[in-house]
Every structure is written in C-alpha cells, then in structure tokens.
Chain A
Amino acid sequence: MEVSIIPASETRIIIEPEIYGAQAWAERHGVIFAWIAEMLELRTTLVQPGGSINFYLRGRFDNYRAVAPEWTFTDATWVALGRLTDFPKPITQPPPRTASIFLNFQNRGVICAPFNRLAYASGSGPHQDWGGPEQWLVASNKASTAGQVRADTVGDMLQVIRRDFLRTSGRMG
C-alpha cells in the first residue's frame, strides 16, 4: 500500500493533544521528557529500578498517525539504532506477568509491538505477518484480541514500554 506523506506541520497538529497527555504522564512518573516538535522526535530517559544507567528511549513521528511511529532505545547522542548495548535486558517473570516487548532480533534490539515501525519487516523487524506499518492500527487490534500488547496514543505507548522496562536489569548486550 502506498502511503501519502503527511506534511510535518499537519503531523504536529495531529500529535499535539497526545503529547500533552504524554507530558503529564512523564511528570507523574518523574521521567525526563523532551518533545522536539521541529523534528517530530520524542526523547525520554529511563532508569531501571535500583539502577543508575540511563537508557535513552527515542520516538519519531513522521507521518503519524498514518504510519506507526519509530521507537528504539538509542545512545546518549540520540542517534544509534537498535544496538544491543543500548537496550535493557528483560527479566523473565512467572505468570501472570507476560513476555517482554524487548527483543533481540538478529543481534538488534527491537521494541516488538504493532505501534513500532521498526518491528515490521519493512523496518528490518521480525513481523511480515502484520502487513506494513501503515496498517499498525489493524495489527494492533489483532494483537490485542490475541492477548498481546496494544497502545495507540503516545502516552499509552510510553506506559507500555515503561511497564516492560521496569522488568529489565542491565543491558541486552
């Protein structure tokens, strides 16, 4: 499916209410949060429970909401993409805790959820079965019905990523 390009100015208008909610979320949880509107880029810094290492979570929102955003853990310069050393290592926990959304896929860290463009095959991710990232809301509905994770606003995405981040220890690689 061909995806029309949404002008950045329109995306900024579309995303603004979600950023407002996400910013309130970050304040509630003491998470460092920066929205760089010109770049349509969101930067947050997370610290593991009892830890001291900063993990740098970056979201990019070009063409949002026609296309899923791009989420990854990156380095302190906010540039690197998918390095295992930038990703937190999940701790396996017994039920009812569910599997982590942080995945080592072909030696690359991936936040494996329908709301992440990088989880799709076209983004070098594992999922061919979801179609393209422009079908992310359909994929989200299917995943949700199957008991898998769903998040369709910026704040909800952050909350789910932090949910699983709190069940990590150290680095993935």
Chain B
Amino acid sequence: MTILLEVEEQGDILRSLEIELGDHETVEAAAMRFADSLGFLEAEEILEDLTAEGEELERTQKIHHYHGRRWRHRHRRLRVIVYAPRHPEPREFFWKRTMIVGDAAKEAAKAFGYIAGNPGFQTFTDPPKVLDNAKTLETEHVHCGEKLELVDTGGGVYYSRQ
C-alpha cells in the first residue's frame, strides 16, 4: 500500500513523501524507509512523533493495523538556511538543537566545497554576530528557519617583530 508521510514544521507541511510498503511491515520499518528517503531525519526521531489521522502510531504495529494512509511527523530539528560568500544560492540544513555550532559549520562548509579553514557562522542580525563554535546551536539561540552565513573564524595574523 502507498503511505504518504508529511513532515510538519510549525503547522506547515515542509516535505511530503510517498512510499510503497507491504501490509505486514511494521511502523518502525516504515519509519526507517522514510528516514532513508528524506535524508535529514533519523527513524527514531520520526517514531517519536508519528500520527495517522490524529492517531499515534506504535512502532511495533503492522501498518495495516491503521486505517490512515496519510501519516504526519512534526520535526523537532532546526532548519537552517546557510549562505556561503562564494556562492549566490543558499542551502538548507536540518540540524539537531544540540549540535555543536562548529560541527554544523564544518558540514555546511563541506557542502559548499570548502576544503580548509576554520568555518563558523555569522547571523543576519543587526549588528551581525559570529556564533561561538564551541557552543550548541540551541545555546547560541539559533531558531528554526534562521538564515546564517559561513565565515572563517580564524584570527588575525600576528607577525614576529624579531
């Protein structure tokens, strides 16, 4: 049967995805398939908040146990739109709130083709702020849907006076 999964963010449908599943597959197996196809969520996260027509789905149940074929997951990740100074178009990332800023910046930098440096993020606030690479996204008050821009966080270069 065909199951439609809608990924919800603050009441809006962010992504929707249909997959074909056997009647006797479990909800857990379905969540794994969805996670693989979506690429930015883990099956466990999907299972934490998964409903069909308002009914909570149990991981061990077979999918034919439920009448609803339209499933919904409210994601809890931070969706961040990242710009790179070298590229005109942004990229979208879904990070866990507990992710370290520096690790997120490295992942984004790699996606934009940076091969070296000490990447970090600068906000679009006025004035802009360079986030602390050692803290988590949540601690640095990154919110869902926020725009950030990659910036090298390396320091100024001192020189020897000798």
Contact = CB atoms under 8 A, between A and B. Distances in A.
Interface of B: 83-89, 116-118, 122, 124, 126-128, 130, 132-134, 149-160
Interface of A: 18, 20-25, 28, 49, 96-103, 112-114, 119, 126-127, 129, 140-141, 143-144, 147-151, 153-156, 158-160, 163-164, 166
Contacts of B118: 144, 147, 150
Contacts, number: 102
Contacts of B132: 96
Contacts of A129: 159-160
A160 B84 CA distance: 12
Given A21-B87, A129-B160, A144-B154, A150 B117 contact: yes
A49 B129 CA distance: 12
Contacts of B87: 21, 24, 155
Given A119-B157, A163-B151, A164-B156, A150 B85 contact: no
A22 B158 CA distance: 27
A126 to B, nearest CB: 4
A144 B118 CA distance: 7
B105 to A, nearest CB: 13
A78 B154 CA distance: 28
Nearest to B160: A129
Given A28-B83, A163-B122, A149 B88 contact: no
B156 A100 contact: yes
Nearest to A149: B154
A135 B86 CA distance: 21
Nearest to A96: B132
